[in-house]
Chains A and B, each alone.
Chain A
């Protein structure tokens, strides 16, 4: 499974979508916008083919390995953005979000390949669900992170009375806030499901809940649940945006340091 032909093709389409997204932000044109979405859609199909080939090579779901899970993360992010685009024609996020898709898709192909035999832990539908929900949650939190950055940028422009191009193109604060709320809610729900399945399996397989990953997942849950709660109690606005950026830091830490060095069950070996 060395070559990743489909993966690279998908990556170049994502890059094209990014370029088109930037062009479209500068000068909105329906054709450019549509072309960007089409690139993204075809990229998603090719990316899926790449994941499928990985799965065949591994004889299991492709995200049993680190590079596979990063790749799936990029795929989910792209699909979520495409859904947002189709529903709301929301184009301002593209230039900021697609780079994350590009980087994770690229990482998915550039990271050293681990060929790990299938074990009892990494088999079955529950394992697949667990990982899918977890990655979906990460994708949702990444969305919230990007939205929060946009919120801070737009807030700054409004306060400084800068009524230029970016001001005109970025959505209103209230709308960004609403999208952020939706993203965090989806993330929380997915993470709660992933955690429930994970805890149940941990108990069944090892009879213990000593995995540090569980603690970090709980911490993540608490941060984002608090965010939603505070959002309704006067923190709506920049404070929530900053909290979401902090939450994303926790997610990143959990996905990298905790996975690779602290948790033995999540180190992809």
Chain B
């Protein structure tokens, strides 16, 4: 892929992501929505760039911009260092810089989930969309970046529907929640009982809460721990002695305690199933040693999984996802070349040529209808008229000094005269 043929304006990407920057730096450069708006305004206000969009998530902070010919990454770095109160050297050491097609390609890959830790994850697509939304509201994304982000989102969607990269869940908790969702349908009306409020219990409770389960109930031998968890995640705390009696009301039971003996015993589960009239129950044992007595999966309509099983599934699913990468990359390249093709045409000379060609076609069509003897004279007349009519627009187009405005106008001409659709 050649570098983009826009001599007047250049795509640029300055970023910090989990590959090049450690957590300490990423935390320093992470933006919240207000900071994104503020940074965008300043970037444009100071005339550093013509267009800009900032993608900021917990794994990455990336500043995409369209700038005039001589703007450099160092200036951007300096701006951010100053803005964040950091030493420019420290910031640039851990940043990466890409230009032109490489910058665009990076965004497309990010949107496709190819740059994520969990390959193919879908959240990032929403984050890319959100970044574009913020930039639009701040008026800092115009013709080029707008198109680039929309194309990247389209590529990301295609990758997820046309490949199986996002089909299989890859973390233990997400596998468990997906399995449970395939038993119960909507988890927003279901109750999850988490036994144990240590690290695993805490992590699972958070994930379950984010997944939008209906009721989250936590029970722990040390009540203070459960109360502390309830302070972080909204859930109900019940005393440890009461949990067996509360089993019938739980659809999903998650074991995360450090108990030496199983805490969920077969007799209790059988009793719970009787009270539930056979409605399914789902047990997830994340504890080592086991929290749930083996053999309960023999009870009718009881689904039971343990950590080892799910870790194995996670490994398999990760391998499955990585097999989809070549196909996903091919889609990214296809969408990227469409975008780059469009952008390559979005400069003065190709646009004027296309405009001329369109004029010539229409002139010739009209001339066909005229008597043969008249044609030569009419052609001269038409060309003279064309020259007069378009002299001023062309002059203004060429002499427009602000790249963003120039691109907007080029895009308008290409659109109004239908220069892009054959």
Contacts and interface: CB of A to CB of B under 8 A. Distances in A.
B169 interface: yes
A229 interface: no
A234 B277 CA distance: 5
Contact of A172 (B168, B182, B279, B303): B182
A246 interface: no
Where chain A touches its partner, the secondary structure class is: helix
A174 B309 contact: no
A85 B200 CA distance: 41
Given A168-B167, A172-B184, A239-B300, A161 B305 contact: yes
A233 B301 contact: no
B278 A163 contact: no
A105 interface: no
Contacts of A172: 181-186
Contacts of A218: none
Interface in B175-200: 175, 178-179, 181-186
Contacts of B305: 161
B305 to A, nearest CB: 7
A236 B164 CA distance: 33
Nearest to A174: B185
A236 B167 contact: no
A175 interface: yes
B278 A233 contact: yes
A246 to B, nearest CB: 18
B401 interface: no
A237 interface: yes
Interface residues of A, number: 26
B161 A237 contact: no
Given A174-B183, A232-B277, A234-B277, A163 B162 contact: no
A180 interface: no
B73 interface: no
Interface string B149-170: 0000000000001101001110
Interface in A185-242: 232-237, 239
**Which of A171, A172, A235 has the most C-beta atoms of chain B within 10 angstroms of its own C-beta?**
A172
Contacts of A232: 277
Contacts of A117: none
Nearest to B169: A163
Contacts of B181: 172
B184 A236 contact: no
B294 interface: no
A32 to B, nearest CB: 11
A163 B175 contact: yes
B313 interface: yes
Contacts of A165: 164, 167
Nearest to A28: B161
B67 interface: no
A163 B184 contact: no
A69 B303 CA distance: 43
Given A158-B182, A158-B303, A236-B279, A29 B161 contact: yes
A268 interface: no
B139 interface: no
B280 interface: yes
A173 interface: yes
11 contacts: A28-B161, A29-B161, A157-B182, A161-B175, A161-B305, A161-B313, A163-B179, A172-B182, A172-B186, A175-B185, A237-B280
